Chains A and B, each alone.
Chain A
């Protein structure tokens, strides 16, 4: 692989084989072959009337290739019409590649080109190299008939390598791999190209070969070659993917301080406007959590603060989602002034938490602590005349459900069930959570005698509820509707 240009020349001149040549020989035969090849492979490269020179456009020597036609090739290969090439390939099963010596520790090229093993045969690499005939992809470059005699059956590995040094051949190898649809082979060729081509050339060639490009990206992700991956995205000008790929790294950083510092480096990256805000928030959140965590750990271990003594923390708040952090803050730091980082109001302001979300979370936290007074305050608003009014942005039916989940006593539940506006919902909830007074009062208001009778059968015999129902039922004040 390290041969110099001179070596190469020497090879071509001295080789006793009539080696396959591309365009650097111009005897008649080769011209004939050239045009025949061009004609035969036209279908592969373009689907209209481009002339033979097209083959030059795909040449390696740094000229930009005709990108559209190349990409067409990649996708068009799905739509059939390579029957001819397949026939050729079948005629061209080389078994001579199996004569290779076993590679010691260098990556074996031959293994790249070894064919797929059949089901039921167990070729290990060494098997393939010693005695079992294995199929090789290397010669299956999709060449037209005329050239096959150029391949001789006793090529040495170095011949293969030399051939592959020619860029056009390398890319043809890639084309062929892609047209086979076998991702394993595509990746193998890419590994080879990655080793033998400069980054820029590799990237440029892949830009017009989307299938191969996706394989390279996935491969780099899998082996964790973050640097090359970032270079690739930079080259392709896929700024958002570049930013996300960089950001993704934070998942591998355990230490909170280091993670925070890393997130800081993400802030200026070219995310979408919307995502930029999320990244900023992520950084700010972790920054806050680190402060809160240090503070609370200290408070907890000092043992002076009642709330931590009564309800020891179950886990660290680090790396928790914002809503969890808000819950935590509503649980441990509810009454703190807005100025402190750990206060719920501060979190709400900093992260622009919607009122609904805030109320929901605060309600859950305060209910868990059975701080009914706080719950009450959460829904009490004063109008400009100083009258108080109950209002819940999440709807009182939800409030009731959350309170019930936190096993609130019936008196509390009752109060909120009563605030549910829709009568049917109210009645359902009251029945479900056994708020007898609400059920009885509602039935009375609805003048629904039947429903009240039905409910009577559900309450305990001789209970206060039953008495109350009986009193209502026997009241002469009510004009029942049924």
Chain B
């Protein structure tokens, strides 16, 4: 349980520096404002404040600008004069400025930027907290956040030294890397001469691997996220978990000693571990019997607090486990997992399709049905037209006709597509692939590119051996590979790619995989020939997920790290899971 790292594993860099930096910047900004007395959440109602000045801390989104404009204009109508300040985080967008101008309040507000883009959620996890990144880039093709990513990388390299080895795959990864390089060149000298702390950087686009993000999670941390929704590294445990009438907000990170030991475990191990832990705790409490006064004094002053803390955490996680079990049993999780595994392995497709259909007919959660359809589509290179039509019709009938728009989004993002009928496909494909190898790829219209972008999951899976051949039971207590995060049924594609590239220190020998991923022009390596990197730093790897990563992927890579003596640090635009991906694609207003 909770295997230790190899003794020679590198130390993690100190991220508290990032927190300090961000905090100081914000304080500086707010102090300029004098006496900020109350914080309001920006939502669609005016704040009740009689203050002479209002300060908004917002994401640079147009709807936020409209909100501010309405407020300012309402004040104007009421003949009220206030000072307004808008602080954009992480940066101001020109489009926002334009809206302020069009709304006639450009002269009334002053603007600032809080360049805060890296929130350390844990000792090894940095989040940009940009869930909108996924939709903005992968659906709309808007590159507004690429600069933010480049800035974040730049900041990291300023703080922790240059990155000697960079790898990446995906269009966004490539662009982010280029822009970041440009930033480095513009400000060269700052990182020169510094010893690199982080030896490798790996950038990966979410659309290189949708499958992993679409699977139900079964490691504890992922399961907690799927069940209770972890927000900014903390979770709200409701009364059913706390076994009281109150909800409790709990921070989930390495500080929580109990959580830290079970977070990466397959759920089936967690119960046993927790009960063992409870027994140990009891034994430690019991030691107080037969103590003399002095010993008792020691016990109370030194150990009791820790024990009580542990007790509290233990009962919380036991409560969470029970609640998860209850929910999963109710939704027939076993059957669901069985279907997912069948889809991943590519057998009983008909049965799986029927299972999905029944889900839809019974109006089981719309997101869940959508997720399964996407999983079917990606693993099968699109749905056969008859199934596509029938599932779509039934979906619209069960969950509402407006989801027509959702289907259109999913098709554009390549998450849910229809196979083109046999002959035309091959003819078209050869035409398209010719165009694709040509540099004129951008010319191909959306309809074509969705065709060109076949997911090829089956072939990739074979090439990279994603479905482990198992003789007998897969022992989830003693995982032998990263597949344990999906009950031994599937090695996460994203993690496998990272593993393979790190092993080779290049993309060499992976040409076929890269081609199947539709990334022929989009896989890159960028190495600087400097020998200043210590062997320790060369085993410290920063993985950048563009479009979000899941806790399962994090767990899988942590496992890989322990096996190989690496340490991974994760930088993600946001922590994601299948529900968030599907919600981002849904086109229904709340």
Contacts and interface: CB of A to CB of B under 8 A. Distances in A.
Interface in B364-413: 389, 392-394, 396-402, 404-405, 408
Interface stretch (B172-180, B253-261, B472-480): B172-180
Interface in B165-222: 171, 174-176, 178-179, 182, 185-187
A297 interface: no
20 contacts: A68-B443, A71-B443, A72-B443, A74-B442, A75-B439, A78-B171, A122-B114, A123-B113, A125-B111, A180-B179, A188-B94, A214-B141, A214-B142, A218-B142, A221-B140, A223-B99, A279-B404, A321-B363, A357-B361, A357-B394
A390 interface: no
Contacts of B45: none
A247 B178 contact: no
A248 interface: yes
A104 B143 contact: no
Interface of A: 47, 67-68, 71-72, 74-76, 78-80, 86, 90, 104-107, 111-112, 116-126, 135, 180-188, 191, 208, 210-211, 214-215, 217-219, 221-223, 240, 244, 247-248, 250-252, 274-275, 278-279, 281-282, 285, 319-324, 351, 353-354, 356-357, 360, 398
B95 interface: yes
A274 B443 contact: no
Contacts of B441: 75
Contacts of A126: 110
Contact of B401 (A104, A285, A356): A285
A250 B402 contact: yes
Contact of B62 (A79, A117, A222): A222
A247 B407 CA distance: 14
A322 B398 CA distance: 6
A277 B405 CA distance: 14
Nearest to B112: A124
SS class of chain B's interface: helix, strand, loop or mixed? Answer: helix
Q: Tell me what chain A mostly uses at the interface: helix, strand, loop, or mixed.
A: helix
A218 B136 contact: yes
Please provide the 4 A-B residue pairs with the shortest distance between their CB atoms, ordered closest to farther.
A183-B143, A214-B141, A183-B144, A188-B94
B interface, how many residues as a size bin?
A: 35 or more
A14 B589 CA distance: 58
Contacts of A247: 404-405
B440 interface: yes
Contacts of A122: 25, 28-29, 112-115
A117 B115 contact: yes
Nearest to A210: B442
B113 A107 contact: no
B391 to A, nearest CB: 12
Interface stretch (B145-153, B241-249, B283-291, B570-578): B145-153
Quick one: which of B21, B98, B154, B182 has the most chain A CB within 10 A? B98
Contacts of A244: 404-405, 408
A256 to B, nearest CB: 14
Contact of A188 (B95, B154, B587): B95
A184 B146 CA distance: 9
A211 B95 contact: no
A322 B393 CA distance: 11
B186 A90 contact: yes
Contacts of A135: 186
Interface in B44-86: 61-63
B155 interface: yes
A191 B95 contact: yes
